[in-house]
């Protein structure tokens, strides 16, 4: 292994997440003081020409179209997997077996069986870390919600009301990109969007699911044009339609209810058909002594309702989670109320990974394969509940 203060990275996949992660590797040691510095060693993809251009633009030292050779390269310390969900299993297990740290994008896998195999491989691997990119944990306002729940006595939790609303799928002109393909993605809005809010609810509350019920899954547009190519920064932008149609194999929306271990009840809604909502996701948590509300389209703010104040003083407080020295992650960036964006969540995620590798505490916990497997079980429970039109106990989902 190379020097202790350097971390040689191999990143597989170089579009949406590839850009977000590359930016984070470039920025992390500019904004944060770190003991270990990431080195952008090898980027892997399938199209050699595009890959070369990407490597040059973002400063990757090497480009390779052979992921197997790259993940086992003795020079590599950490493998970063940002490919479609059905690729995660093979790539992460190969990396773990080669003794590499792994960052895998979410959801952990396309299927529960794949997720289980990955969790088991991570448990078996010695001396390496295996994380999953639930990046919204590192929005300062979300990290603040995590801290408030632990630092204040909020009393009993009654409700979790979680939503992930996108609208881009509603147009029938959006082609059949991999996110609509069951083999590649495993599920649609459910694994793509629902996974984030399940993780967010588990992360902030520390509560666990005991039962899932009332699940509905719907695919509104059953066929879409098969694309010949994909490009661009957006989820389906630049995808050219071939003229032939293919079957959409995944859900466009999933809604479900849940009971939590604490006795709280919960509702979850994920959709790509919320026309007018671009990336509106978050949750409201109603506790006995206060409530918390977050919406990513207003990501710099956390809303808190303090039910312990005199009645005439009660009301929602907008907290700009940006005060250096007070709010999580704020000290690395700008003065108070100079807002952060989406990309900072990945910079923060990389910082927390480097902290753990240096034997230090992350600002807030990262999701490991075990943790992400629990989220995958909830995804599976909702699929079973929707299929059987019946409640599912979490203990039935192994």
Ligand X SMILES: NC(=O)c1ccc[n+]([C@@H]2O[C@H](COP(=O)([O-])OP(=O)(O)OC[C@H]3O[C@@H](n4cnc5c(N)ncnc54)[C@H](O)[C@@H]3O)[C@@H](O)[C@H]2O)c1
User: Residues interacting with ligand X, by CB under 6 A?
Assistant: 12-18, 44-46, 67, 82-85, 87, 105-106, 133, 135, 192
**DSSP per residue, 133-152:** --GGGGSHHHHHHHHHHHHS
Q: Which is nearer to ligand X, 83 or 189 (CB)?
A: 83
Q: Which of 296, 112, 88 is nearest to 190 (CA)?
A: 112
Q: Which is nearer to ligand X, 45 or 140 (CB)?
A: 45
Q: Which is nearer to ligand X, 232 or 263 (CB)?
A: 232
What is the SS3 assignment for 67? helix
Q: Which is nearer to ligand X, 106 or 224 (CB)?
A: 106
Answer yes or no: are the C-beta atoms of 193 and 166 closer than 8 Å: yes
Give the nearest distance from C-beta 189 to ligand X in angstroms: 11
Q: Which of 16, 62, 358 is nearest to 178 (CA)?
A: 16
Give the nearest distance from C-beta 140 to ligand X in angstroms: 16
What is the SS3 assignment for 111? coil
Give the nearest distance from C-beta 257 to ligand X in angstroms: 24
User: Which residues 6+ apart lie within 8 Å of 151 measured at CB?
Assistant: none
Give the nearest distance from C-beta 177 to ligand X in angstroms: 7
Q: For residue 99, what are the CA distances in angstroms to 72, 91, 304, 397?
A: 8, 13, 44, 30
User: Which residues 6+ apart lie within 8 Å of 118 measured at CB?
Assistant: 88, 89, 92, 93, 104, 108, 109, 130, 369, 373
Give the nearest distance from C-beta 214 to ligand X in angstroms: 25
Q: Which is nearer to ligand X, 232 or 324 (CB)?
A: 232
Give the nearest distance from C-beta 228 to ligand X in angstroms: 14
Give the nearest distance from C-beta 136 to ligand X in angstroms: 7
Q: Which is nearer to ligand X, 135 or 253 (CB)?
A: 135
Q: Which is nearer to ligand X, 190 or 264 (CB)?
A: 190
User: What is the number of the residue whose Cβ is closest to ligand X?
Assistant: 15
Answer yes or no: are the C-beta atoms of 40 and 28 closer than 8 Å: no
Q: How far apart are CA 198 and CA 201, in angstroms?
A: 5
């Amino acid at each position: 292994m190379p020097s202790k203060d350097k971390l040689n990275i191999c990143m597989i996949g170089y579009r949406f997440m590839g850009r977000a992660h590359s930016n984070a590797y470039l920025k992390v040691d500019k904004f944060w003081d770190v003991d270990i510095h990431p080195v952008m060693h090898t980027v892997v993809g399938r199209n050699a020409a595009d890959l070369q251009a990407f490597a040059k633009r973002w400063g990757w030292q090497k480009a390779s179209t052979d992921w197997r050779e790259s993940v086992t390269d003795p020079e590599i310390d950490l493998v970063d997997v940002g490919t479609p969900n059905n690729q995660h299993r093979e790539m992460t297990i190969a990396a773990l077996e080669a003794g590499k740290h792994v960052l895998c994008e979410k959801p952990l896998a396309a299927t529960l069986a794949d997720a289980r195999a990955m969790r088991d491989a991570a448990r078996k691997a010695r001396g390496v870390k295996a994380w999953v990119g639930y990046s919204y944990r590192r929005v300062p306002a979300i990290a603040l919600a995590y801290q408030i729940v632990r630092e204040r006595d909020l009393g009993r939790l009654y409700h979790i009301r979680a939503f992930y609303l996108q609208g881009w799928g509603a147009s029938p002109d959006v082609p059949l990109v991999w996110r609509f393909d069951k083999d590649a993605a495993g599920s649609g809005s459910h694994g793509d969007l629902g996974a984030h809010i399940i993780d967010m609810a588990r992360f902030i509350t520390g509560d666990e699911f005991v039962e899932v019920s009332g699940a509905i899954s719907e695919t509104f547009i059953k066929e879409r044009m098969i694309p010949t190519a994909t490009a661009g920064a957006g989820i389906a932008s630049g995808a050219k339609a071939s003229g032939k149609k293919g079957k959409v194999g995944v859900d466009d929306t999933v809604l479900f209810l849940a009971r939590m271990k604490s006795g709280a009840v919960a509702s979850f809604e994920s959709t790509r058909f919320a026309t007018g909502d671009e990336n509106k996701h978050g949750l409201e948590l109603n506790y006995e002594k206060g409530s918390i509300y977050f919406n990513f389209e207003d990501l710099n703010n956390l809303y808190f309702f303090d039910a312990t104040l005199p009645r005439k003083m009660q009301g929602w407080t907008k907290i700009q989670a940006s005060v250096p020295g007070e709010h999580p992650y704020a000290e690395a960036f700008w003065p108070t109320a100079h807002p952060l964006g989406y990309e900072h969540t990945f910079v923060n995620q990389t910082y927390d990974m480097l902290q753990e590798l240096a034997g230090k505490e992350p600002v807030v916990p990262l999701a490991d394969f075990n943790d992400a497997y629990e989220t995958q079980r909830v995804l599976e429970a909702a699929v079973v509940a929707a299929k059987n039109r019946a409640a599912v106990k979490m203990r039935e989902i192994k």
